[in-house]
Amino acid sequence: MLLGHLSICRIIESLVFNVTAKLKRLVNHIRISLGDKKNMFNTKEFIETSLTEIRKTLGQGRVISACSGGVDSTVATFLVHKAVGENLIAVFIDDGLRREGEPEFVMQTLKNLGVKSRYVDAKKEFFEVFKGKTDAEEKRKAFRERFYRTLGKAAKEEKVEFIVQGTIKADVIETVKGIKSQHNVLSQIGINPEKYGYKILEPMRELFKPEVRKVARELGLPKEISERMPFPGPALSLRVLGEVTPERVAIVRKATVIVEEETKGLGTFQNFAVLHNDMATGIKVGARVYGNIVTVRIVESEDAVTAKAKQVPYNILVRIAKRITEEIPTVVRCLYDLTDKPPSTIEFE
């Protein structure tokens, strides 16, 4: 009986969530159609106001930005660069959890944009804090602690008072609702950044992802940035279920390359691979082996608040499964995730 009530509650909860999101979009659409200028996002105005506010906050002071190369942090970095020029130094922390070729891509992009930047190799320190940790929230906490310590060290070395972060509205909402603690929302999770020796500047915390992309286009950032697929701050650590080790990250990194290559044309919101913590029996080179399981997740979404599992053409899924199990020696099984958000989240952890 109790189980029955719980199921009904979950169904109602899921319906309300979906209907509310759809209603919000519909109301917005009607407003825009009716020419409700007041509620429309004005990109130029946002940029102008932000530049003035950033200059007022920072004055002549130097500032660093934590730039991972994702659309949010790159837009935040470039916005502040536009406001204060050489007083900004973009810091890219290589935590060993980035996708294939990402560190090189980010450093090159910053150079092309004329942003002063610094590469911090922190791979060893990050893998150290993950040792023995398998719980999702514990891993997030470990990542966050290490991230802010590394950033704090860079801030001290650069003698800055402020750090720029690309926090957006969805990060704030999900953290406040307690769905999960986003690593870049500090005050809501009871972290006082001043404890790490600096203050935080978040110029985009009132924007949703589509608005961030509009700002990116208006600022003239390259397509590889403005249309970049969202990628979480804690990176591949969220996609390695269980302990995060260099070897396990290497498996998910390789699977990610395959998923991204095979799904390039789909235009979906996020396409990625996840390495499971348990193992399964399979056959490799004619012998039974106990190997890894990888799940492929491909979702459509507008703002990451809700998402739909993509109905990917079957031949693409088969090709992905074949490549992942052939090109990654330890993987014996490849699955496709059919779940929407809610009840799932986009990431597994």
In the complex, the residues that contact ligand XMP under the rule CB under 6 A are 174, 179-180, 182-184, 230, 232-234, 270, 304, 341, 345-347
Cβ at position 339, least distance to ligand XMP in Å: 11
Q: Are 270 and 133 in contact (CB under 8 A)?
A: no
Task: Please state, in angstroms and rounded to a whole number, the distance separating the CA atoms of residues 259 and 263.
Answer: 6
User: 279-285 long-range CB contacts below 8 Å, 24 or more apart?
Assistant: 280/332, 280/333, 281/332, 282/325, 282/332, 282/333, 283/332, 284/329, 284/332
CA geometry: angle at 235 spanning 108 and 111, to 5°? 10
Cβ at position 36, least distance to ligand XMP in Å: 28
Verify cis geometry, omega within 30 degrees of 0, for the bond prior to 342. yes
Q: Which is nearer to ligand XMP, 116 or 345 (CB)?
A: 345
Exposure of 74 by Cβ count < 10 A (0-12 exposed, 13-18 middle, 19+ buried)? buried
Q: Which is nearer to ligand XMP, 18 or 31 (CB)?
A: 18
Q: Which is nearer to ligand XMP, 212 or 324 (CB)?
A: 212
Give residue for tokens 């044309």. Answer: 265
Q: Which is nearer to ligand XMP, 118 or 180 (CB)?
A: 180
At 110, the amino acid letter reads L
Tokens for 227, please give them.
Answer: 């249309």
Cβ at position 288, least distance to ligand XMP in Å: 35
Cβ at position 346, least distance to ligand XMP in Å: 3
Q: Which is nearer to ligand XMP, 262 or 349 (CB)?
A: 349
Task: Please state, in angstroms and rounded to a whole number, the distance separating the CA atoms of residues 134 and 137.
Answer: 9
Cβ at position 224, least distance to ligand XMP in Å: 18
Q: Which is nearer to ligand XMP, 183 or 248 (CB)?
A: 183
Q: Which is nearer to ligand XMP, 167 or 325 (CB)?
A: 167
Cβ at position 174, least distance to ligand XMP in Å: 5
Cβ at position 96, least distance to ligand XMP in Å: 17
Task: Estimate to the nearest angstrom the gap between the alpha carbon of 204 and the chain centroid.
Answer: 15
Instruction: Say what the alpha-carbon torsion angle 247, 251, 252, 257 is, to the nearest 10 degrees.
Output: 130
Q: Angle, to 10 degrees, between the axis of helix 209-218 and the axis of helix 71-84?
A: 40
Q: Which is nearer to ligand XMP, 50 or 184 (CB)?
A: 184
Closest CA to 339 of 274, 249, 256, 282: 274
Cβ at position 304, least distance to ligand XMP in Å: 4
Tokens for 221, please give them.
Answer: 């950032």
